[in-house]
Chain A
Amino acid sequence: MTDALDLARHTLLETPGLSENDLSRVMDKLLSHQVDAADVYFQYSRLESWVLDDGIIKEGNHSIEQGAGLRAISGEKTGFAYTDDLLLPQLLEAAGAARSIARAGQSGTQAIASLHNAPRLYAPINPLDSLSEELKLELMHKLDAEARSIDPRVKQVSVSMVAAHDTMLVMNNHGMLSGDVRPLIRMNVSVIVEHNGRREQAGSGGGARRTLDFFLEDDRALGYAREAVRQALVNLEAIDAPAGMLPVVLGAGWPGILLHEAVGHGLEGDFNRKGTSAFSGRIGEQVASPLCTVVDDGTLPDRRGSLSVDDEGTATENTVLIENGILKNYMQDTMNARLMGMAPTGNGRRESYAHLPMPRMTNTYMLAGKSDPEEIIASVDKGLYAVNFSGGQVDITSGKFVFSASEAYLIENGKIGAPVKGATLIGSGPEVMTQISMVGNNLELDSGVGTCGKEGQSVPVGVGQPTLKIDELTVGGTAT
């Protein structure tokens, strides 16, 4: 049994003892009021995590989350209820609560009418059991030893490993049944270095929708340990960051958090339907420099942000958001797509069965341009070169966004100079995108570490970009 939908039916219907007829009864109850759309979402997740600290395996945790979320939509109104018991009486009770959003009066009945098998972007495997416990812990100890062996200034090392096995099944009011089995793994190494009383911290990590062998391939996880130490040692030498408007060159890969904050959230369908985004009503307009083509691509095999189907059962897509600077598309779930008269784009996501789906990003990145990365740096007389970031945030209405550099350097006379302390960069999304004057030929995606928060819900995402130059951005250092 390797088909994800069959596995999902087994885990979420057969195991708790629910029949397809039971599922139809629950749907019929949702549809016994005047609703436009409805769905029932089942989930069973297992998660295992390990923490190495102070050279010992300090903590381990095993977690099981299961339940079902039931949603009824009438126009722009949504009713929602959930239960952590996968039993018919509780499901019917939740359906009764969810449907109360709509007026009484039958809108139909619906049995399972179709099975949706989307192309699989990752294997429906359980990563928790993909390595023996001995090998998991041996790997963590190896990373600890590697980090400490690189430099005597390394004082503290923490290593974490997380493996999740998430199974979902969703039925909608058209009778479509869709399911997915989603592996997700993540490792992180964090170090503290000390020299002459000065301390600095840095971290590095990666992940994918794979088995834990991923970390062993090409010594990938050892690379996280080396990278964390390298960044921490760079920060030991860092001088005060400049304050004010400067040309900023962003490195390839993880700095793509720029796109996530500056344009990504502002192009999510819900904000645009409600007219609350700085990008509302601007499809067809020039919103970025002609060098910019930005996509949201949920279809990349094995990537952290990828999904075979989204949490509404829609197959994910490679959606062009901005093409040569022109705004082309928003990211949609089914509800916002329907209300805006657009097509869903496979961006309907939820943190769990206990949360409502909404339009969310998958892997958001900018396509490669033509410039040589060295040529981009050489073009800057005095500016900042930022290569690693710790996070960001956006106000989608004003368009103002921040992202915080954790590794950055001065650029002086076209050359990379001294490292500077972490600083927050702030800009206006729509303005910054028009200020992108050079785009590198070196597209990279991040290493699989991104988590995006929206309205209290966290989902795994990916970002990426080539090296690029922003003519002017405010750098929030202390050196004036």
Chain B
Amino acid sequence: MSADINQLQQTVSELLAEAKSQGASSAEAGVHGSQGLALTVRLGETETIEHTNDHGLGVTVYFDQRKGSANTTDLSPAAIKETVAAACRIAKYTSEDPAAGLADAELMAQDIPDLDLNHPWQIDTEQAIEIARECEDAARSYDPRINNSEGASVHTQNSLFVYGNSHGFIGGYPTTRHSLSCAVLAQEGEDMQRDYWYSSHRVPSELDSAQAVGVEAARRTVSRLGSRKIDTTECPILFKADLAPSLVRSLFGAIRGAAIYREASFLLDHLGEQIFPDWVKVDENPLLKRGIASAPFDNEGVATHPRNLVEEGILQGYILDSYAARKLNMQTTGNAGGVRNARITSTGETFEELLKQMDTGLLVTEMMGQGGSTVTGDYSRGAAGFWVENGEIQYPVEEITVAGNLKEMFMGLQAIGSDNQIPGSIDTGSWLINKMTVAGN
């Protein structure tokens, strides 16, 4: 690490002092540095070795209700002066905005809990290459139809980050993140398919084994061979656990402060309303130990707390930073920077039980394109997966779309499985939805 936390804190203090001396009535600043290694082994040979090394600083100044911001990758003393000057120049031209400003001083995190986010991987390039090779080998030897590869990758990153503002708040902490991924191709006749799998964690020893990641990448790829298109129909849809978080992100997009105060959400005026069946509960825990999205304070220095977003299917709160909160005459929810570690309570079924419950319908294992509107809730995306009859997977399906409206999809939720495979920032199992339109032949 070329910069230590004291240096970064020093830089933040200098930025804030410089902002004050250039006349800003208040200011906030952040500095980050990260170093890492990313490498890929393809067809048994090392393909790329990347040494990553990133720095940056950003400052936002306020002249009463006018705001300006600037950032740079240059951490030199000269750059600090210039960057603050650039932000101050911007603030000459922005408008008076009654909602602008720092979060309230009394909301700043008082003590910063150690969330156990820093676990450097003691690994050299040769060892990382070995892990990637073992992962790719496991995938390539899984099935004779696996005939090509995009390789297996190991990525490890150590980061430092410090945020401070003119309330006197300053805080920072180191984090690590490591991942292992693999993508392979399978062929049968003219049919060629690709799929991938990965594991990502703050703690290297918590990563899935190279063997497991490789085998899962291969299993997913081979299972897609022989995919066909199905006829256009309406049917129940089971979104596999690794795709279900994208539906949760659609929910978050619609209850973000900016979508609400701009009246650009299909969930406008739904606070306290039923948006899911009454068994659905969505919680956020930013203080989760070792959590991939954990943070002791948000991007404005506001202390984070576990909170409840949906209880008994009823929307309990919006996702707010201090700006959106002021626009809505509400209080910030400590969500500057987003939702950190969401958990959606499962109804307890295994994946197989969900298939049985669906009986006949479509299991979706991949989605393509954006295709969901936050404003209207209209939803239409490319998909691939498997046709299911009598609770049994029949054959792989591709080149189809699934469409509906998010509001109806949320209310039509039948069950959430206990089959989560990935400890990501959104913890949920597979989602069974009563009915959507599948477009195919």
Chain A contacts to B: CB under 8 angstroms: 50, 53, 56-67, 76-84, 94, 97-98, 100-101, 133-134, 137, 155-156, 192, 194, 199-201, 241, 243-245, 274-276, 278, 354, 356, 390-393, 395, 397-398, 400-404, 421-424, 426-428, 474-480
Contact = CB atoms under 8 A, between A and B. Distances in A.
Interface string B88-128: 01111111110010000000000000000000000001000
Prevailing SS type, chain B contact patch: strand
B366 to A, nearest CB: 8
B53 A82 contact: yes
A400 B89 contact: no
Interface residues of B, number: 77
B330 interface: no
Given A398-B398, A424-B371, 4 more contacts: A62-B86, A62-B87, A244-B439, A276-B194
Contacts of A275: 148
Contacts of A480: 232-234, 437
Contact of A477 (B92, B369, B376, B437): B437
A278 B90 contact: no
B95 to A, nearest CB: 4
Given A79-B49, A476-B382, A428 B69 contact: no
Nearest to B233: A480
B72 A64 contact: yes
B68 A200 contact: no
A192 B399 CA distance: 32
B64 interface: no
B145 to A, nearest CB: 13
Contacts of A66: 72-74
A428 B399 contact: yes
Contact of A101 (B46, B72, B90, B264): B46
15 contacts: A53-B262, A60-B93, A62-B87, A66-B72, A97-B51, A276-B148, A393-B369, A401-B368, A424-B381, A428-B399, A474-B399, A474-B440, A476-B382, A478-B403, A480-B234
A192 B74 CA distance: 39
B403 A423 contact: yes
Contacts of B82: 64
A98 B400 contact: no
Residue of B42, B53, B96, B381 with highest tally of chain A CB at under 10 A = B53
Contacts of B294: none
A199 B254 CA distance: 14
Given A393-B368, A426-B368, A62 B375 contact: no
Contacts of B368: 393, 395, 400-402, 424, 426
B50 A398 contact: no
Contacts of B437: 243, 477-480
Contact of A404 (B54, B194, B369, B439): B369
B97 A56 contact: yes
A470 B301 CA distance: 54
B242 to A, nearest CB: 16
B262 A81 contact: no
A201 B264 contact: yes
Contacts of B93: 50, 57, 60, 133-134, 137
B288 interface: no
A156 B263 contact: yes
A402 B439 contact: no
Contact of A63 (B45, B71, B441): B71
B58 to A, nearest CB: 9
Interface string B369-407: 111010110101110100000000000001111111100
A76 B368 CA distance: 30
B372 to A, nearest CB: 9
A422 B378 contact: yes
Which A-B residue pairs are the 5 nearest by beta carbons?
A: A476-B401, A402-B382, A56-B95, A397-B194, A60-B90
B426 to A, nearest CB: 20
B400 A426 contact: yes
Contacts of B403: 241, 243, 423-424, 476-478
Given A156-B262, A275-B148, A397-B185, A80 B50 contact: yes
- Which one of B54, B94, B150, B263 has the highest number of Cβ atoms from chain A below 10 Å of its Cβ? B94
Nearest to B71: A63
A278 B54 contact: no
A141 B238 CA distance: 47
Contact of A78 (B47, B52, B150, B371): B47
Contacts of B91: 60
Nearest to B93: A133
